[in-house]
Structure 1
């Protein structure tokens, strides 16, 4: 049996945890640099505002008239509350798989013979506990496969009569839920695939579950076949305890404001180089090649400028000092005086396993593994960039624009909530 726990409007719900004054108000959260809407609470959705990925400037007046509370993305707060929610959910199952920042699967094994009433009671207990301890509203769906658990979660949050909890463990409950779901509501069935299925007369999740798996595989793919089998109670999806190492690591971001200063471009590239270096060490890899780029905005009137630089390391490395030094070397090739830079980034590729790479006699590694380990452990304990190289600078004008940022209640000493009795 599987359970899927999913937070309702994660980012918007997190904003309400430490701010009781907005709990009964519509809240929307904006993306990086306050560009588009990325999340909305249930109240905002009922008002018909807060549609995802709509540019904020287009609906600014509409949101103001509706009395909507605007917030910038507070990633530090969301990550911490997500971890608290996962820790709470993990107490209710022998195995947990964190699927995303707001979703986790719980697995109870194959031989559990609990009744539907007992599963429903457990789901309600998980939901109440997360609300009591973390103050996040979640939906809990249970099913015999991960896909059925996803379908049950959809029912818990979207279909009438479930009130945040749904269990699919019988043939009757399976047909009842799947018959009310559009085929595009199924986990893994996107809009384009949904159109093809609709053209074949497959409109609901139950329609898809009734198809011949072998024929579906011939017409589509083995992934769609697995979905059909999972909708019929056969477990086909699984997750590895250790995820495969990435083959490329990138860090890119648009600036909070246009920059024309060469020093600010250096600070930005050094920041990205530090981020990718830490990620590279985390997966215990070495890099042999790096790409660096900087661009202006195609929407500016001055004309579009895009510059890039490719660098190969003589000796594979994961030392932040080496990667930042190579990134800084690219600046004369990237910087053009008078260009208003909008975005830059650093990417690493051509990876080798740190434990298996064999160095030669003529090119020695200059990596300081103890120094990097010390740096990573300090930053892991006290927060990113607690310890960093001076090449990043200290007066960064390119920082992400977050004009509606709420306090980082759980990760910054100055933002800890104060209780006045």
Structure 2
């Protein structure tokens, strides 16, 4: 059996944990640079406001009129509360797989028998414990396969008769829920694939579950076949016990304010270079090539400008200093006077596992692993950018715009909640 624990409106719910004054108010959270709506709490959804990915400036007056509380994305807070939620859920199963920032699968094994208190009571206990200890509202769905656990979780949120908990442990319940679930609500079935299934007369999860898996594979893919088999109780989904190393690593972001200065653009690229270097070392890889780009907005009046630069390292590296050195060579091609730069980024490619890479006999590496490890350890313990390269700068006018940012209650000393009693 598998249990899927999923936080309700994760980002908006996190905003309410340490701020009781907004717990009974509609709350929406914005994306990077306060561009679009990315999350809305249940109250906002019931009011019909806070539709996802709508530009904020288009609905600003509507939100103000409805008394909606606006928040910028507070990633530091969300990540910390997510970890607390996962740690709490992990106590209720022998194995856990964190699927995303707001959901995790609990694996009870193929031959798992119902606990003494029953699956429903166990799910309710998990839900109540997360609320009591983390103050995040979650829904719990339990089923014999990961896909059915996803189905159960959807039922716990959206199907009448379920209030935050759903268990598909018998044929009648499975049939009842699958008949009420649109095929596009099944895990892995998107709108485009759903349209093709609709054309074949498959509109519900129940109709998909009753199709011949081998025929579905011929018409679509083995992935859709596995979905059909999982809807019928056959476990086909599995997780890698060791995360596969990435083949490419990128860091890109739009600016909070347009950049027109040479040094500011260089500092922004240096920040991205530092970010990708840390990720590279974390997965114990070295890079053989690197790409950089800088661009303005395609909507600018002066025309669209996109500049890029490619560099191949003589000796693959994961030393931040070597990666930063490339930026000086790239700036002559990337920077153009008079352009209002909107976005830039750095990408590392041609990645190799550090311990297995065969270096050139005549070109020795000048990496300093001990220095890089020292920097990474300090930043891991005391916070990002505690120690950083000077090229990144210290005052960033172009940093991400977060005008409605809430305090980082759990990760910044200055923001620790103060209680007077």
Look up the SS of the partner of 1:303 in the other structure. coil
Report Cα offsets for 1:368-394 as digits up to 9, x if no partner.
001111111111111111111101001
Look up the SS of the partner of 1:355 in the other structure. coil
- The residue number in structure 1 matching 2:197 is 197
Find the aligned partners of 2:278 and 2:37 in 1 and give their Cα distance.
Answer: 30
Look up the SS of the partner of 2:406 in the other structure. coil
CA contact (8 A) 2:285 2:352 kept: yes
CA contact (8 A) 2:115 2:122 kept: no
CA contact (8 A) 1:269 1:328 kept: no
- The residue number in structure 2 matching 1:221 is 221
- The residue number in structure 2 matching 1:104 is 104
Query: 1:81 Cα shift?
Result: 0.3
- The residue number in structure 2 matching 1:31 is 31
- The residue number in structure 1 matching 2:154 is 154
- Structure 1: runs of 5 or more not aligned: none
- The residue number in structure 2 matching 1:410 is 410
Find the aligned partners of 1:64 and 1:4 in 2 and give their Cα distance.
Answer: 36
- The residue number in structure 2 matching 1:299 is 299
- The residue number in structure 2 matching 1:313 is 313
- The residue number in structure 2 matching 1:55 is 55
The alignment yields a C-alpha RMSD, in angstroms, of 0.9
Report Cα offsets for 1:18-77 as digits up to 9, x if no partner.
000000000000000000000000000000010000000000011111100000000000
Query: 1:329 Cα shift?
Result: 2.1
Look up the SS of the partner of 1:330 in the other structure. helix
Of residues 245-254 and 360-369 in structure 1, the stretch that sits farther from structure 2 once superposed is 360-369
Query: 1:328 Cα shift?
Result: 2.9
Matches within 5 A, 1:102-141: 102-114=102-114, 118-141=118-141
CA contact (8 A) 2:34 2:56 kept: yes
- The residue number in structure 1 matching 2:322 is 322
CA contact (8 A) 2:35 2:56 kept: yes
Query: 1:117 Cα shift?
Result: 6.4
Query: 1:116 Cα shift?
Result: 9.9
Segments of 4+ moved more than 4 angstroms: none
TM-score w.r.t. length of structure 1: 0.99
- The residue number in structure 1 matching 2:206 is 206
Query: 1:152 Cα shift?
Result: 0.2
Report Cα offsets for 1:141-175 as digits up to 9, x if no partner.
00000000000000011111111000001111100
Find the aligned partners of 1:161 and 1:84 in 2 and give their Cα distance.
Answer: 29
- The residue number in structure 2 matching 1:358 is 358
Query: 1:303 Cα shift?
Result: 1.7
Find the aligned partners of 1:65 and 1:368 in 2 and give their Cα distance.
Answer: 57
Look up the SS of the partner of 1:298 in the other structure. coil
Look up the SS of the partner of 1:140 in the other structure. strand
Query: 1:417 Cα shift?
Result: 0.4
Find the aligned partners of 2:208 and 2:387 in 1 and give their Cα distance.
Answer: 53
1:40 aligns with 2:46: no
- The residue number in structure 2 matching 1:394 is 394
TM-score w.r.t. length of structure 2: 0.99
CA contact (8 A) 1:116 1:169 kept: no
Report Cα offsets for 1:79-103 as digits up to 9, x if no partner.
0000000000000000000000001
The total of aligned residue pairs comes to: 421
- Structure 2: runs of 5 or more not aligned: none
Matches within 5 A, 1:242-391: 242-391=242-391
